[in-house]
Chain A
């Protein structure tokens, strides 16, 4: 044997071993695509033995190659081109089962090279090398998913940060709004008060000054009470005084209170109140606040000559209050945020409309506390808005008397001293260290016919008690030297002929439940919150008259 033929034989043997040991599929064909070689890997993965395929045309063996137009690659290879078939664009060349099914691929994923085989410048066949890349592709997908998850985490963190910044900005805007809103009425109050002090106003202007001061102070008090409500709601301290109430009279009272504002803008109020909708269980004051807030809003955002419709109806097991207006409407973008705290549609509206953007948030929270729901609908800007409140009929026991009692809804706005009980012949002792409050109490009670004695301190009050023998005591709690608690304790220690059983009401800015309890335990019969509401003061004094203290 010559050296060269020995070498050729050796090469052939080595090649044979390499092909059989290869971790890839190797197919060799002649220039007519008849299979010449089919390695062990191919046998193992296709289940076709070399002896069964050698001599057969590759395209006959796998008709799928032509169906998937992959046969072209062999045509090009026979023209001398090397072809690369990537897994991402082709998946696989020859269908083979996956070694492990855990990656979710039905077929083995393959990377393929098809090359021409040439000899002496002539192409004599093709070589196909198939690599199983299933494992690798699955790993890459996993890695890609991890990268994706990480970038998603990053973007969600960014989102949270943006949200926090937004909340902070809203708070800043809110503080700016609140300062503005509180200062506005204050300017009017200060301005007119200053002119009153100068004493140069004509009687009609004096009246106007007082009216303006009253109106602005009232609106400021409303702002403060809104703020307090929100803070109570946030801290979960708002408690409902739930009783059986008549929804219709509550809605009527709220309508009455906004009627002047609506009339001033020539807004038509249309009411459709179905009497079968009441009574329900709820807190009369809060329910009225809900309706009042919605109506105030409707009036605020409805242009002159517009229309507001209020509907109360029974829908299954719910009572529905629907307030619709023909006002400026709400844009689609803002609609989801209508009930958010401190949110207003935009700064310019804030400026033209004023307000803190708390009203609807309070409505939402109060309705929630009642176990109901509130929704809003608007066709868009300029197309009006409709608010629907749904309140459940729960635990309603029909008792005509209860309903009547609870439906005596307090209505500060429309209360006028003229409609209040007469206090004629009553002698009231008022104790407060603040001159303004003393004066106010005197004016209000005098107006209703009472005689009023004023004291600046507990000591003065004790003297006045002996001297004037008043019928009723109204005392502030927080006073220097000696407070209201001490005063009442001393009075209650006196015999009845020296005023020991005098009916008494406490006046305080501390409105917490525990304060109220302490007030009642110490010997007062009533608790009046500050700032003093004229109507409430008169009503309390009237009801105290003749109700001697019983320990």
Chain B
């Protein structure tokens, strides 16, 4: 399944609303202006995820993972490479001594940041689809990309597609790249795209 240019643009626009909210929330929390770059959206089959992501996140991956359930169900993840995760927490917490590792406090901060971003994005989809989704408690994992992908795809035969949203956090003259990955069943994705088309049609009226 490929997104048409219009669909892709419409999705980007919608997600951008969620990202703007996330940026505002993080700015308020940290006292620094935080901006998330306009997202780029693509759809991959889950088996294409590995080559698509490996290019951007070599080595260990920090992911904040939330499962969502309801009429639309799936896995939502914020993905950062390890160094990016360290940098992001340092930037957000005014890290006076830039650290080289993620201690418990840093992991907690990442979890909160991921939680804010995932809530904003999925909440926006929920509103669009006019469905109510419930979330699991967010969890942070540090593992290789392969381990991560295995954990979100095994045993889920209907999970065929992943919406990959690329962005970067801009904080205090620094930029940290990240991916929002939403793994969906075919049904859920169909429904989402259908609603995106409808929204787009309404916008252009």
Give A contacts to B, CB under 8 Å: 69, 76, 79-90, 111, 113, 115-116, 118, 121, 133, 136-137, 140, 143-145, 147-148
Contacts and interface: CB of A to CB of B under 8 A. Distances in A.
Contacts of A87: 105, 108
B92 A89 contact: yes
B200 to A, nearest CB: 26
8 contacts: A69-B28, A81-B135, A86-B108, A87-B105, A88-B109, A89-B29, A144-B103, A147-B99
Interface stretch (B47-55, B111-119, B141-149, B165-173): B111-119
A208 B15 CA distance: 92
B85 to A, nearest CB: 14
B137 interface: yes
B130 interface: no
Max count, chain A CB within 10 A of own CB: residue among B104, B109, B132: B104
Contacts of A82: 66, 115, 119, 135-138
Contacts of A133: 104-105
A121 B137 CA distance: 17
A83 B28 CA distance: 16
B180 interface: no
Contacts of A147: 97, 99-100
Contacts, number: 70
A148 B97 contact: yes
Contacts of A144: 97, 99, 103
Contacts of B100: 147
B134 interface: yes
Given A86-B111, A89-B93, A81 B119 contact: yes
Interface in B50-103: 66, 89, 92-93, 97, 99-100, 103
B97 A80 contact: no
A121 B132 CA distance: 8
Contacts of A79: 123
B40 to A, nearest CB: 26
Contacts of B184: none
B104 A140 contact: yes
A79 B111 CA distance: 20
A143 B30 CA distance: 23
Contacts of B152: none
Contacts of A137: 105
A84 B111 CA distance: 7
A121 B134 CA distance: 9
Contacts of A80: 132-135
Given A86-B109, A89-B30, A140-B104, 16 more contacts: A81-B123, A81-B135, A82-B66, A82-B115, A82-B137, A84-B115, A87-B105, A88-B89, A88-B105, A88-B106, A115-B137, A133-B104, A136-B105, A140-B103, A144-B99, A144-B103
Contacts of B106: 88
Contacts of B97: 144-145, 147-148
A86 B137 contact: no
A86 B110 CA distance: 9
A85 B112 contact: yes
Contacts of A89: 29-30, 92-93, 109, 112
**Lowest 8 CB-CB distances: which A-B pairs, in order?**
A86-B108, A86-B112, A84-B112, A84-B115, A148-B97, A140-B103, A88-B93, A86-B109
Contacts of B109: 86, 88-89
B103 A83 contact: no
Nearest to B101: A147
Nearest to A145: B97
A140 B112 contact: no
B77 to A, nearest CB: 15
A136 B123 CA distance: 33
Contacts of B66: 82
B86 to A, nearest CB: 12
A83 B111 CA distance: 10
Given A81-B135, A82-B66, A76 B119 contact: yes
A93 B135 CA distance: 22
A86 B132 contact: no
Nearest to A69: B28
A85 B112 CA distance: 6
A76 to B, nearest CB: 7
Contacts of B103: 140, 143-144
Nearest to A116: B134
Nearest to B99: A144
A136 B104 contact: yes
Nearest to A140: B103
A118 B133 CA distance: 11
B132 A84 contact: no
A239 B108 CA distance: 69
A84 B136 contact: no
Contacts of A90: 29
A487 B3 CA distance: 114
A140 B99 CA distance: 11
A162 to B, nearest CB: 22
A18 B108 CA distance: 25
Contacts of A140: 103-105
Nearest to B114: A84
B134 A88 contact: no
A79 B122 CA distance: 12
Nearest to A89: B29
A69 B134 CA distance: 24
A506 to B, nearest CB: 69
Contacts of B92: 88-89
Contacts of A115: 137
Nearest to B134: A80
B108 A84 contact: yes
A74 to B, nearest CB: 14
A143 B100 CA distance: 12
Contacts of A69: 28
Nearest to B97: A148
Contacts of B89: 88
A133 B106 CA distance: 13
Nearest to A152: B97
A107 to B, nearest CB: 16
